[in-house]
Structure 1
Amino acid sequence: MSRLNLGTGGAVATMVASASVNQAGAALAARAFPAIGPAGVVAIRQLAAAAVLLPVARPNLRRMTWSQWWPALLLGLVFTVMNISLYTAVDRVGLGLAVTLEFLGPLTIALCGSRTPIDLVCAVVAGIGVYVLVRPGPSTDVAGLSLGLLAGACWAAYILLNRLIGARLPGLQGPAVGTAVAAVLYLPVAVVILAQGRFTVTALAYGLGAGVLCSVVPYAADVVALRRVPARFFGLVQSVHPMLAALAGAVILGQVPAAHVWAGIVIVVCTNAVAVAVAGTRAARLPEPLLARPEPS
């Protein structure tokens, strides 16, 4: 039991550190938007991440089976859509709001992990939190909010795929392959921006920093954490992301959230905590055979 607690505590520390680095990197990346736009930042980020992860993980592509290939390819597509959706949302509605909307992905994972009457209550409260957060009106940036929600759907897919890949491929091979796929898809974007002469030293520095802080560090940390804790618990600890994003946006970008934004963030985060706690309590009461995870095919 002490070893289990130690492993869980280490996983929590890893996830919190990963989230802090991730949101700081996202805030720094936003500083490059005026020069190369969100797509340019994502392109540099993916190329930098692939350049670091591939030599480190050294995946043996020729020996990978289809059961290993397909989740890695899907992960690459998820990276492609998630990053551009989030960064475009950050550019339109700000870092704190965009990341909170993205956080609805892990919250959905938490709600799906339990089937009790309180789940419905949590879903309703989460909806109230989102309403308070965005305060819809004539001037609401619907496109920016929609992109934040799309990033959330991708984050949910990322959690499930990364856990599956962690069981099928050793080390960082899965994220390395997925990152390489996303880098190839964004290579034309980098070529076009380079041809337009829009790359500056500062923009490159921010983009490369985002590649390390938002891709290399979190992907590695998440693979390690998801091997030690269930996906629902992972979703709970991810509650720190909206808070850290709002703080990073305020400190690095000068985006001080309004009172209603803070209120919405707190409601969504607390809802997630309750949903995951209920799901975990129910799972703990199940007989051991029902809790056993099937071996990967």
Structure 2
Amino acid sequence: MKPAAFDWHAPTLLAEALALKAGHGEAARFLAGGQSLVPAMNFRVAQPAVLIDLNRVAVLDHLGFEEDGTLAIGALCRYRRLERDAEVARRLPLLAEALAEVAHPQIRTRGTLGGNLCHADPASEMPAVMLALEARLVLRRAGGIRQVAAAEFFLGPLATALAEDEMLAEIRIPPLPPGSGTAFLEVARRRGDYAMMGVAVVLRRGPDGRCDLARIALCSAGPTPMAAPRAAAALLGQALEPAAFAAAAALAVQEIAPMGSVQASPAYQRHLAGVLLPRALARAAERAA
């Protein structure tokens, strides 16, 4: 199919892009990699009257660590650049590990992290990883800027906290606490397909050998990326061993709300969460050691 007719703008300045969005509001959509938006337009699921192509706005294409260890990722940063960055892999291995599971190399070469987060598909890996890493999202509008925690950004399937005149301009990921271990695991019908279930975990082993920090997030587990705070809290103060991991997984299965898909029923998705979480927690604990 072909998309409905639209006007196309290709600004070179961020201020120009924001002014266009302010002027057109809900009728306009930002275009970055186009890996989600263009197919939706071709099927006429999305029919924006105006496309604001951001690919010439150079200020949005950046990637780097700041003095305090925060990773700043511009909205136009491609998956492939993130995936291949050695410093990202060293400092934020959870991000690098999960990126390798996103779609296929051709899509990762063109797609952007910012576009993925704005699309807000609950089956996608990156929103769950942002929860586990406690990322903050920088939202810009003409004359204003605000930051939103990842936990507050995703409101529902394909729905976010972005106002009609706002742009996601940057993703900010704080450094992992020293001594942390992380892991990402998923099950998909085929490599590159959406995950039937995916889990992202962060653990830290305290001086006494017991867990003193835990974060758990899941994709394909509900209408948004799902955190499992009760399961994470149950690990605190516990020895990092299989019994604690199994108990935490049992709690997490109760916290999620999988919606099912053509590939997996909600019951099967819960089963997968119960299988994947102990494995991911064990792997993160080993890495924390």
Say whether the fold is shared (TM-score over 0.5).
no
Structure in which a larger fraction of residues adopt strand: 2
Higher-RCO chain (CA-CA 8 Å, sequence separation at least 6): 1
Q: TM-score by structure 1 length?
A: 0.27
